[in-house]
């Protein structure tokens, strides 16, 4: 990496980033006219007079650095306002929504007058040859007095910086929320999709086996009373297995015990491939007494083929059920997604709060795990006119915060999430409660502030509850902490039923 051609540091009197700045002082200072000419190219300073630019040129501290030079450390205190006359400064951040930032030629940056900036947001490196004028913060009063027009420039720059940072943070929060939603949906859709694919693949093989067994059964030319008795046995088994239209199955321990019993029965009756047939029948409520009834009708090879055909058909039905169940689950998720996003609908809709909360839970189902969800929906709660998609952001933020809080709490009992809706006069109330550790009273008044978070660096931006608060305020509602103590925290959203003039 190239290094800057700079003067020696100041006799060990400086350290850290002050030492870096001292090392960036050029050996041959640029003349004042050349500095003034460079300042004229800075668009932000267009309104300043020639005398103002001369003052800045004379009182600014010149720095120069070549490509790759470290200009400042992330986290180090910042004491200078910097006017970037030439080159670019690339800032790399270890965390946060913006990992890479570029300060380009013509920027007025660093610690500005009236700014509350405390430290650098990342490590800054020179990209190409960099030339700056720096102003120590102790000189700010004198600078603003000598160059009054700089005050408006500084204030405008601070407002632009705030808007840009807020925009980037909000965009990052949206992307973060979208990423969480995508991850939840991916997890939820993966299970039924995988089950449907596996069942469909196995069904293809099983149908071939079922056709083969039927061919064998037909080749035996069973007829007369034997055929009638066999058909009656098949009908009785179908009635036994599907009283409500679906197969009945047992738990794993019971299945294993049934399989052992059935294997012994089939071995005693010399059934071929008993190891293939027994597991299928073991998952039903068919007992050996039912098989005895079939053995009284068919014997020998006919019994083997009849059982194999019956088990293969039952297995194919089971796989078909798996495909149906999986695709039904996928369809339910897609329906929930459409309801959650209010796809293909006008911005303002009549919102059923119960349905909206359930759709949000469907989006977050992968995070619920062992969480007990208690839905206490008031029957008297009417529909309200609102921005449905935006309100779902509120429910998502509140539920996710509740889940995060409960995940931090070590307990001997299961986490519990309570969603409650009720009617209060001309407003509806939605409450999201959890049995987590509660909110520290010292920070309770700050949880709705933008960028405030108790989570670790890189885990959150502190905009979730701020966004929720702004959405509720937009609906002329109120978001507040109803109560909070260890084991019982409840956040309440109060929304007016009639939104006349709210938008």
HEC secondary structure over 277-340 = HHHHHHCCCCCHHHHHHHHCCCCCHHHHHHHHHHHHHHHHHHHHHHHHHHHHHHHHHHHHHHHH
> Is the pLDDT score of 10 beyond 50?
no
Question: What local confidence, expressed as pLDDT, does residue 175 receive?
Answer: 58
Mean pLDDT of the chain: 80
Separation of alpha carbons 257 and 330, rounded Å: 34
pLDDT tens per residue across span 214-246: 878 777 777 778 888 888 888 888 888 775 544
Given the structure tokens 């030319």, which residue do they identify?
221
Confidence of residue 248 (pLDDT cuts 50, 70, 90): low
Question: What local confidence, expressed as pLDDT, does residue 411 receive?
Answer: 60
Confidence of residue 403 (pLDDT cuts 50, 70, 90): confident
Confidence of residue 14 (pLDDT cuts 50, 70, 90): very low
The percent of residues in the chain predicted with pLDDT above 70, rounded, is 80
Confidence of residue 99 (pLDDT cuts 50, 70, 90): low
Task: Please indicate whether residue 98 or residue 386 has the higher confidence score (pLDDT).
Answer: 386
Separation of alpha carbons 410 and 185, rounded Å: 28
What are the C-alpha distances in Å from 407 to residues 361, 437, 469, 490?
Answer: 17, 10, 23, 16
The residue-averaged pLDDT of 414-421 equals 90
Task: Please indicate whether residue 247 or residue 173 has the higher confidence score (pLDDT).
Answer: 173
The residue-averaged pLDDT of 333-354 equals 71
> Is the pLDDT score of 307 beyond 80?
yes
Separation of alpha carbons 187 and 184, rounded Å: 5
> Is the pLDDT score of 15 beyond 50?
no
Confidence of residue 318 (pLDDT cuts 50, 70, 90): confident
- Going by C-alpha positions, the residue among 427, 419, 267, 445 that lies closest to residue 355 is 419
Structure tokens at 320: 């078909």
Question: What local confidence, expressed as pLDDT, does residue 140 receive?
Answer: 92
pLDDT tens per residue across span 423-482: 988 889 999 999 888 887 777 777 776 655 655 444 454 566 778 888 888 888 888 888
**3-7 long-range Cβ contacts below 8 angstroms, 24+ apart:** 3/66, 3/68, 3/69, 4/64, 4/65, 4/66, 4/69, 4/126, 5/66, 6/64, 6/65
Question: What local confidence, expressed as pLDDT, does residue 55 receive?
Answer: 94
The residue-averaged pLDDT of 267-287 equals 87
Task: Please indicate whether residue 417 or residue 247 has the higher confidence score (pLDDT).
Answer: 417
Element housing 434 (H / E): strand 427-434
pLDDT tens per residue across span 63-90: 888 888 888 888 888 888 999 999 888 8
Q: Are strands 123-136 and 80-92 parallel, antiparallel or unpaired?
A: antiparallel
Confidence of residue 6 (pLDDT cuts 50, 70, 90): very low
Question: What local confidence, expressed as pLDDT, does residue 39 receive?
Answer: 92
DSSP code for 376: E
> Is the pLDDT score of 288 beyond 80?
yes
Angular region, 451: left φ>0, alpha ψ -120 to 50, beta rest: left
Structure tokens at 313: 């058909």
């Amino acid at each position: 990496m190239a290094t800057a051609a700079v003067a020696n540091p100041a006799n060990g009197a400086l350290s850290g980033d002050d030492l870096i700045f001292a090392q960036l002082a050029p050996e041959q200072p640029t003349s004042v006219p050349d500095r003034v000419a460079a300042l004229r190219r800075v668009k932000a300073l267009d309104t300043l007079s020639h005398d103002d630019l001369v003052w800045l040129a004379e009182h600014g501290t010149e720095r120069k650095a070549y490509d790759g030079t470290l200009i400042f450390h992330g986290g180090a205190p910042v004491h200078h306002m910097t006017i970037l006359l030439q080159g670019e400064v690339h800032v790399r951040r270890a965390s946060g929504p913006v990992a890479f930032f570029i300060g380009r030629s013509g920027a007025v940056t660093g610690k500005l007058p009236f700014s509350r900036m405390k430290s650098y947001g990342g490590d800054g490196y020179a990209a190409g040859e960099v030339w700056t004028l720096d102003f120590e913060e102790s000189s700010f009063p004198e600078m603003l007095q000598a160059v009054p027009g700089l005050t408006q420039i500084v204030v405008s720059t601070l407002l632009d910086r705030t808007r840009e940072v807020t925009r980037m943070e909000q965009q990052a929060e949206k992307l973060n929320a979208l990423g969480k939603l995508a991850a939840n949906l991916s997890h939820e859709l993966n299970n039924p999709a995988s089950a449907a694919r596996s069942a469909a693949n196995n069904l293809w093989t099983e149908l071939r086996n079922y056709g083969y067994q039927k061919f064998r059964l037909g080749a035996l030319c069973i007829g007369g009373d034997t055929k009638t008795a066999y058909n009656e046995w098949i009908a009785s088994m179908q009635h036994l297995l599907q009283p409500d239209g679906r197969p009945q199955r047992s738990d794993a321990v019971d299945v294993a015990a049934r399989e052992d019993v059935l294997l012994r029965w089939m071995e005693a009756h010399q059934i071929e491939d008993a190891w293939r047939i027994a597991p299928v029948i073991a998952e039903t409520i068919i007992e050996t007494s039912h098989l005895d009834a079939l053995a009284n009708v068919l014997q020998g090879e006919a019994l083997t083929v009849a059982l194999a055909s019956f088990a293969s058909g039952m297995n194919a039905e089971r796989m078909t059920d798996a495909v149906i169940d999986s695709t039904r689950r996928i369809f339910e998720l897609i329906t929930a997604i459409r309801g959650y996003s209010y796809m293909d609908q006008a911005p303002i809709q009549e919102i059923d709060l119960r349905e909206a909360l359930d759709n949000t839970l469907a989006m977050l189902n992968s995070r619920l795990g062992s969480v007990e969800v208690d839905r206490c929906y008031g029957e008297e709660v009417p529909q309200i006119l609102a921005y449905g998609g935006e309100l779902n952001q509120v429910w998502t933020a509140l539920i996710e915060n509740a889940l995060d809080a409960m995940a931090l709490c070590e307990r001997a009992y299961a986490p519990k999430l309570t969603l409650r809706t009720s009617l209060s006069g001309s407003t509806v109330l939605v409450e999201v409660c959890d049995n987590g550790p509660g909110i520290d009273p010292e920070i309770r008044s700050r949880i709705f502030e933008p960028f405030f978070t108790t989570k670790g660096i890189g885990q959150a931006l502190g905009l979730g509850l701020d966004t929720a608060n702004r959405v509720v305020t937009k609906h002329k509602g109120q978001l507040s902490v109803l109560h909070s103590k260890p084991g019982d925290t409840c956040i309440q959203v109060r929304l007016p039923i009639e939104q006349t003039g709210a938008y």
